[in-house]
Structure 1
Amino acid sequence: MDTNVVERVEDMEEMVDLLSGSLPAAKDQPTGKEDQLPDTEYDAIILGTGLVESIVSAALSRIGKAVLHLDRNMFYGAECSTIPVTESSPLGPFQNMWRRFNLDRSPKLLYARGAMVDLLVQSKVSRYLEFRGVGRTLSYIDGKMVEVPCSAADVFNTTLLKLTEKNVIKRFLTFCLNHDQHTADYQDFASRPFKEYLSVWPVGKKPQLSPFLQRLVLHCIAMCSEQVSTEDGLKATQYYLRSIGRYGNTPFLWPMYGSGELPQAFCRMSAVFGGIFVLNRSLKSVVVTKSEEERCSGAVCNLGQKLKCKWIVMNKEYSPSSWQVRSEAQASSHGTDSHTDRNSVSRLVLITDRSLSPSSSDGVEDPFLLTIPPSEEMKTQHVAHLLELPSSTGACPSGCYIVQMTSLGSTAEEDFSAIVKTFFNSKRPVSTTPPPSSPPVSTEASSSASEGTEDTAARSDATPAEAAAEGTAAPCTAATPEDDTAISSDKPELDNDCADPGNTDVSGTPAASESSAEQEDTRPVIYERFYFNQSNPVCTPVTASGVHIKNIFVTTPTNAELGYSSLVKEAREVFDTICPGEEFLPPAPEPEDICFDRPGDDGDKAKESTDAGSSEQRADDNDHQESTEAGQCDEQETECKQPSGSSSAEKSSSAGGAEASTEGNSSCSDMPVSTDATGTSD
């Protein structure tokens, strides 16, 4: 970076360092001409390609604003990205297919009539995406998994509810669907907990919702916590009910190949309308003008180039720690829910060998959502959402499943330990027959396999990484040393590459047991698991002296919300502040209708008009010449049909006329060739 420029800047402006974020900065590289960004004043510089930043970028570019979009990573999406597993992950028979796994860092579902779907349809960004409907919504209530009825037909067909409960829940859901027309029925409870209102509904009469129905509405339909207000709970229930039936029996959609496709689609829209995107590039500092109203006037990128801008929108990962607000008092002073801010989001990603709740239909499997309310059995204080993705979603190869869990909490492993123990088996599967699309697994006992027996190919003490390096499958052992009981396979022939050596005889065949059928565990077996937490602080851009910087936005990171409504709302608010009165993401024209204006278009058009006139004149001349030649050819054909006794003078005259005609039109490549009386070409 030019030190003279920095000195002049520090004389009248303040440099605010941005390199103290939670992620490492982009690597500094030698500055060359190819690394220089366009030297212009940008309407907005956007840091990070998270969903909110990508929507703002697309909205600004769509109305002609100059946008520079940077990301310190080498991929799009930031905390909303979809990433593959590593090659060293123990994936059993799918080890050679590790690139086909797509794991979401922040999985969310789209409500069919939600804010995100409306925005995708309105802006036509949906043309870049594919979706799959969520086939079922389940809930874990009273120690069992039950299917939540979504439509009126489901309510009357379900065996989950009694006849009286079916009538009650139908009346209540009808009320929720039109609750905004009957505000007097709940105005006394508007700010009180929704749970309290459910216990007394209908107000002034005998309560009709049983405790089971109250839990069903609160956690499985409204998808709310027990602290939510009555007004917000009724809106959430209405939101759910209005989305049913638009694209399927459930209100939810899932983007093919992962939710990380959404920010990429909005980035593509921004690039189509002139947005500049640079990966592996970030800002080193921002330049704040010292005036009565502190405003950012530019920034310095990590390669030292100074950039001018009017606004900066950044992901919270790029903000320095001094901007982060963590205490409840600070959160309340900024008008933010302190409960949400002091808790992080716990997430768990599992790769399993079978479905947790297999579909009864024989068609292609659809993803399903399982809601787990807080309970002492699961040792949870917040609602947990479990989303299972089959291979039909593009998240994994055929034969395995991706399970995504989300909940508010402090430590993911502690928050989900009871759920994992209840629903999943931590042992590796005995039967690991590779799918047809994967190459065969090499073994050391190929000769004995041809005789009807197989030996264990991998060392019993080899780790998955060592086994992968040796080109063999890692042995499948129990998660706990004291539990080494092998899992029975549903298939008659067993592949012992992943069998427990302690439960096999010398021939490699599992030892028979009288109680093997009783000990069979049909729970999904975990190949790999990933626990992680995402922090959720409130960030306020301030100078070193504590003065708020007016034209810098720090977007809210992803949250535990099931849908995208809050993120779309935030993106719209940022856009309205930058461009008040402008339309937010108007419909994009069709690709063939897009036309960009370029400097000198008037001169070019005049030149094109002149060229077009010349071309038309040449075309007219050619048509005239062709018609003349056609007449000459007709005369020659008439001469060819004359008796052989015709005079040589007439022939020479005809030949001379044809030759002259050819010479006069030698520049026309499509001129017909005249022939003499013998039929040969002149």
Structure 2
Amino acid sequence: MDEDLPTEFDLVVVGTGFVESIVAAAASRIGKTVLHIDPNDFYGGTWASFNLDALQSFISSIAESPATDESKQFNSIKNASQIWHVTTPTATPADDAIPEGQEATEKIWTKENVLKEFRRFNVDLSPKLLFSCGKLVKLLISSNICRYAEFRAVDHVCTIINGQTRSVPCSRTDVFNTKDLSIVEKRLLMKLLTSCMGYDEHPEEFKDYEDKTFLEYLKSVKLTDNIIHCVLYSISMSNEQTSLKDGIDNTKKFLNSLGRYGNTPFLFPMYGCGEIPQCFCRLCAVFGGIYCLKRSVSNVSIADAKVDSIKCGNQDIKASNIVVGHGNILPDFSIPAGGTGVGKKCGGISRAIYITSSPLGAEELNSSGGGVNFLKLTDESGTGAFVLQLSHYSGTCPKGLYLIHISCSAKSNNPEADIKPYLDKLLTTDHPPAILYSIYFTIDACLRCTSGASITNDSLSNVFVCCGPSFELDYDESIDNAEGIFKKIYPEDEFLPRAPDPEEIVIGDEDPVSVADDVITLDSVKEQIMELEAGLLHQEDCMEENSRNEEMAMEVGEE
């Protein structure tokens, strides 16, 4: 209820997207009072995950809203459309219709029986991967938020060469086991990767290429076209214009993430990327943050170049600072200022989501238990596209169906046209996917990135704007954005210090010593094992001594 809310907070956060949720969690963790509201009836905003029924409703609401509708003027999702590619319901073969001795064929997926499985879908608006040594994994571990989420290791990093979908060898074992490279190519690849890892120790090896591109360097070391393709596009995630330094840094990031949690350098959140913002929301709530969905700011009171209070429902709430999320806007002024942007604009992403009845690639690429394959596609512009294929093992779709996400830089207001060159590449491979349903939409830039940095000249000093998703594979820029906003608000405080485990929390007048005595730690378990082993050794010694005594007694008796 509105009247139950406190009337004063240190921080009010509008929107439950990824960046906003991190800022809210970080503020709550250091003891600040936080009110976290969202006009939507779901968590995540542009970073949300939906089941299939909710996704269709969400896309329909955007597609049916007129462009002149002021309430949708700052909606971060635009140009949405959806289409079913199977419409005529056809029944799955009945058991009595199958001839004796013949097995039933695979299930025939129609619109009707796909929709029956709508609860088994978790479809991301902004799907991403986590580098195993990336900023988000480090933040989840250092803050102890990792206990709120589960992850899957990505099974394969793939590429398309001559119309064939191939797995890119990531580890040393992969390199020597692959049949796609000759022995000479394997040695050349291992030598190249070793050189890249030693760039900082031996920069003299690269001094002749400092002002050249990474591609020029790869060609100079006499690599084959196959190896250049794999390293340039799939390992370093680069393009023809990438500098030598950036290409090597990207390659080192890829290699440093190998062997930590799986055979590839990437992790994917179980049940979709929408779980990640909610992990930070949980931490915020644990430390006293208050959450209200379907609540928007209807009015603001401004005094001395600051927002003094906001009107939420029927209440006037004072706020020391306000953080506004991607796709949200405060009334009475169009551009909230004072935010912290990232190095490049957020948004500007064309998105496609496909439900398919068959996967991309041959059976050996889709038989692993992780349920996640990743593919980087290239184009003439150099930016390329990220392709993510998910199976039921990832918890994002029913068994027998697959989700394929494609993300690329938006070149027009027609996301379907932007995606088409990449989709055509997938459909002309040796094992193309069979598409049942498709969605297209554009993720727009936030107000700050859209309007430019000049908007901060007449700023409100206590209002901060969060950027939305950037066209990047992982979350590095978004984490920098969140930390930058937090440091502007609380420059002297630590950003997301480690949260204690439940057994470490002392409640009320509990004696921390007695509480600690009841906690089973790894060291205490080791001590108990050592004591048990010592006892067993002592028992064995006693048994051996008793045996010897009995033998001596028998010998004396015989004499």
Using the alignment, how far apart are the partners of 1:401 and 1:119 within structure 2?
30
Aligned to 1:447: none
1:159 alignment partner, SS class: coil
Seen in structure 2, the aligned counterparts of structure 1 residues 101 and 165 have a Cα distance that, compared at 3 Å, is same
Distance apart, 1:570 and its partner CA: 1.7
Bigger mean CA deviation after superposition, 260-269 or 216-225: 216-225
Distance apart, 1:538 and its partner CA: 5.5
**In the alignment, does 2:327 pair up with 1:317?**
yes
Q: Which has the larger radius of gyration?
A: 1
- 1:534 is aligned, of 433, 439, 443, to 443
Using the alignment, how far apart are the partners of 1:230 and 1:288 within structure 2?
50
Using the alignment, how far apart are the partners of 2:472 and 2:480 within structure 1?
13
Using the alignment, how far apart are the partners of 1:424 and 1:197 within structure 2?
30
Amino acid aligned to 1:113: C
Amino acid aligned to 1:104: D
Preserved CA contact (<8 Å) 2:168 2:234: yes
The count of aligned residue pairs is 449
Distance apart, 1:307 and its partner CA: 1.7
Preserved CA contact (<8 Å) 2:49 2:123: yes
1:265-664 → structure 2 map (5 Å cutoff): 265-290=279-304, 294-301=305-312, 303-319=313-329, 322-323=334-335, 336-337=343-344, 340=345, 344-360=348-364, 364=369, 366-375=371-380, 382-409=383-410, 410=412, 411-424=414-427, 523-537=432-446, 539=448, 547-595=458-506
Unpaired segments ≥5 residues, structure 1: 1-33, 326-333, 426-520, 606-682
- 2:229 is aligned, of 212, 215, 222, to 215
Distance apart, 1:363 and its partner CA: 5.7
Distance apart, 1:240 and its partner CA: 0.8
Structure 1 runs, 4 residues or longer, greater than 6 Å off:
87-90, 540-545
* Identical-pair percentage: 36
Bigger mean CA deviation after superposition, 112-121 or 180-189: 180-189
Aligned to 2:261: 247
Aligned to 1:256: 270
Seen in structure 2, the aligned counterparts of structure 1 residues 300 and 247 have a Cα distance that, compared at 3 Å, is same
Preserved CA contact (<8 Å) 2:470 2:478: no
Amino acid aligned to 1:199: E
Distance apart, 1:145 and its partner CA: 1.7
Using the alignment, how far apart are the partners of 1:63 and 1:596 within structure 2?
18
Bigger mean CA deviation after superposition, 551-560 or 250-259: 551-560
Amino acid aligned to 1:583: E
**In the alignment, does 2:171 pair up with 1:120?**
no
Preserved CA contact (<8 Å) 2:215 2:242: no
C-alpha offsets along residues 641-676 of structure 1, whole Å, 9 cap, x if unaligned? xxxxxxxxxxxxxxxxxxxxxxxxxxxxxxxxxxxx
Aligned to 1:5: none
TM-score normalised per structure 1: 0.60
- 2:23 is aligned, of 56, 59, 62, to 56
Preserved CA contact (<8 Å) 1:47 1:315: yes
1:144-163 → structure 2 map (5 Å cutoff): 144-163=164-183
Preserved CA contact (<8 Å) 1:141 1:373: no
Using the alignment, how far apart are the partners of 2:243 and 2:376 within structure 1?
20
Aligned to 2:518: none
1:323 alignment partner, SS class: coil
Preserved CA contact (<8 Å) 2:166 2:361: no
Aligned to 1:135: 155
Seen in structure 2, the aligned counterparts of structure 1 residues 183 and 549 have a Cα distance that, compared at 3 Å, is farther
1:262 alignment partner, SS class: helix
Using the alignment, how far apart are the partners of 2:204 and 2:301 within structure 1?
53
1:582 alignment partner, SS class: coil
Using the alignment, how far apart are the partners of 2:385 and 2:418 within structure 1?
9
Preserved CA contact (<8 Å) 1:345 1:535: yes
Preserved CA contact (<8 Å) 1:92 1:527: no
Distance apart, 1:420 and its partner CA: 3.0
Aligned to 2:198: 178
Preserved CA contact (<8 Å) 1:140 1:373: no
Aligned to 1:657: none
C-alpha offsets along residues 603-633 of structure 1, whole Å, 9 cap, x if unaligned? x99xxxxxxxxxxxxxxxxxxxxxxxxxxxx
Seen in structure 2, the aligned counterparts of structure 1 residues 36 and 179 have a Cα distance that, compared at 3 Å, is farther
C-alpha offsets along residues 461-519 of structure 1, whole Å, 9 cap, x if unaligned? xxxxxxxxxxxxxxxxxxxxxxxxxxxxxxxxxxxxxxxxxxxxxxxxxxxxxxxxxxx
Preserved CA contact (<8 Å) 1:81 1:105: yes
Seen in structure 2, the aligned counterparts of structure 1 residues 538 and 279 have a Cα distance that, compared at 3 Å, is closer
Seen in structure 2, the aligned counterparts of structure 1 residues 165 and 563 have a Cα distance that, compared at 3 Å, is same
Distance apart, 1:336 and its partner CA: 4.7
TM-score normalised per structure 2: 0.73
Seen in structure 2, the aligned counterparts of structure 1 residues 67 and 180 have a Cα distance that, compared at 3 Å, is farther
Distance apart, 1:163 and its partner CA: 3.3
Amino acid aligned to 1:224: S
- 1:200 is aligned, of 205, 208, 217, to 217
Seen in structure 2, the aligned counterparts of structure 1 residues 304 and 574 have a Cα distance that, compared at 3 Å, is same
Distance apart, 1:222 and its partner CA: 1.3
Preserved CA contact (<8 Å) 1:123 1:586: yes
Seen in structure 2, the aligned counterparts of structure 1 residues 557 and 140 have a Cα distance that, compared at 3 Å, is same
